Chains A and B, each alone.
Chain A
Amino acid sequence: MEAVVDATDLEKTYGETVALSGASLSVAQGEVFALIGPNGAGKTTLVRSLTGTTEPDGGTAAILGSSPAAVDRDRLGVLPQEFSPPARLSARELLAYYAGLYDDPRDPDDVLADVGLVDAGDTWYENLSGGQQRRVCVGSALVNDPDLLFLDEPTTGIDPAGRRTVWRLIEDLADAGTTVVLTTHDMAEAEHLADRVGLLADGSLVAQGPPEDLVLEYGGSSRLTVETAADPAAFDDLEYPVERPERGRDRAPEAAVVVREIDPAAIGSVVDYLEARDVEYTGLSWAEPDLEDVYLALAEPTERERTRRLEGGGESGDAVADDSDLAQAGETA
């Protein structure tokens, strides 16, 4: 299938800050592609490079078969990350305003219904709640019924019910053939919506693929978290690998031991083990690996490296994380 979005080796620097360093991706028609990554990883710069609102220093990009600057804008919908439309227009007026910029727009009232704001249609934007405001902004990207939709953090600030509304909307659009590229910090959102996920760290896509493939490859094993202050040595005789999560670096509570590679059916044997040795614990929880584990495995080492460089520990202020660091991260995971 022909790629609707095709970018190769995109590079962009702002002064000494490297925003993109060889980012490449390809998105097929009707696909939902989610970009995840830490703050400052280059997600917004990548979206801007693809929408023609920034000019990359190197590499090539094409959307809908054209360069981003020359694309037919009637076919493109974009929600910028920190978008703030005129505050004293009502939700309906704002959608009508943006609809008025296109050749063949949708009925603004239909868009209003799609984003779940029929009852708030006559409320000025500045009087809407933060979540409602973001939904109006999402609506503004849909008024032209685009073939290709870029949503930069579309659900930031939206409550869970509103988020589900936006999710359903994106799913319906993708079902109807719209290609969607979105950025998010919500791993559940990426896992729920995306056909493929790209993890951007330090300006490069360090991993991309279907969420389940990424979880299999980088997410590590299932884990049983035992909330206990006991020394991990107390677990030495357990037949499963055990680790004490590094403080603030993992998903476990501060005082916990994580038992790896354990089937849920075997949890009873761990309980028996703890009771037999009088090891005190306050809770047990078992989880399959998910996209957040992938994120933590791949993005955290890069982020630590970047922080180290920014604090002056690195040799070069604009160097990107090396492959060995990421490979090591994958192995650790």
Chain B
Amino acid sequence: MSRLGRVGAETSAGWRSFVRRRTAVFFTFFFPVILIVIFGALVRTDPAGGGLFTEPPAYYVPGYLAVVVLFTPLSRMGSEVARHREGSRFEKLATTPLTRAEWLLAQTAVNAAIIGLASLLILGLVILLTGANIAFSPLLVPYVLVGVVCFCGVGAMLGSYTDSQDGAVAASNGIGLPLLFLSETFVSPELLPGWFGPLVNLSPLTYFARGVRAATYSGAETAAVAGVDPALANLGILAVLAVLAFALGARSIPQTD
């Protein structure tokens, strides 16, 4: 069986396992939807005089997408790794030809499919509920894919270094929530203290948000990086971080006890 075949078998099993957990499927899609409904309603209030949600609706598209691109891989991968460890599944897989990187690639493919569908739903709802004026750039596809790869790697690390499913979910929430709001998604940089700026640059989600905004929002004031178009440059940075996170995530997956 080729590498592709092994990844295919793992992907197929992972996909079936996911779609048969109805509660997980429901909340995977419900979470971003409820967030858009709440934030969309807030945006429509169009508050004056600064504060949150004063930008045009299209500004927040990266934030809405980040909800699934960030949270779904973190929580799913974290709990999946913990579940595999608790059921001695890694012990079993370590004695098969499937490598850790192949396993993570398969799980990433499952996440990419789920998040791709959720992203379409989000874009539709954002337009419908907030009236956002979005440019449909083809770069949205690689941004979502590369973002998923990146955060699947981080999620795998969380699952590997926590000692239970509960711990993995708590850790993913603990890391995901600050990242979601402090990565130029819902909160613009001007609203944060100056000293916080360098920390924002450490978050991979920042490059996702800047790039997606540059690609989809005509009013974006995203700066070019070393003279390169920000939509492409941020994708490049995110891709480098994704490769690093994927490699570290694959390496962290337990192969021995």
Q: Which residues of A line the B interface, CB within 8 A? A: 48, 51-55, 73-74, 76-89, 93-94, 96-105, 124, 140, 144, 150
Contact = CB atoms under 8 A, between A and B. Distances in A.
A73 B13 contact: no
B228 interface: no
Contacts of B94: 51-53
Interface residues of B, number: 27
Interface string B1-16: 1000110111011001
B95 A53 contact: yes
Nearest to B21: A88
Nearest to A87: B17
B13 A97 contact: yes
Contacts of B89: 83-86
Top 4 A-B pairs, shortest CB-CB distance: A100-B9, A84-B87, A88-B20, A78-B95
Interface string B77-93: 00000000011110111
Contacts of B12: 97, 100
Contact of A84 (B20, B88, B93, B96): B88
Contacts of A140: 92
A101 B256 contact: no
Contact of B97 (A54, A88, A96, A103): A103
Contacts, number: 92
Given A48-B257, A100-B6, A89 B16 contact: yes
B28 interface: no
A232 to B, nearest CB: 49
Nearest to B14: A86
Interface of B: 1, 5-6, 8-10, 12-13, 16-17, 20-21, 86-89, 91-98, 255-257
A65 to B, nearest CB: 17
A54 B257 CA distance: 5
A80 B257 CA distance: 12
A100 B106 CA distance: 13
7 contacts: A53-B257, A55-B256, A84-B88, A85-B89, A99-B9, A101-B9, A101-B98
Contacts of A77: 95
A150 B96 CA distance: 13
Contacts of B93: 101
Contacts of A73: 95-97
Nearest to B16: A89
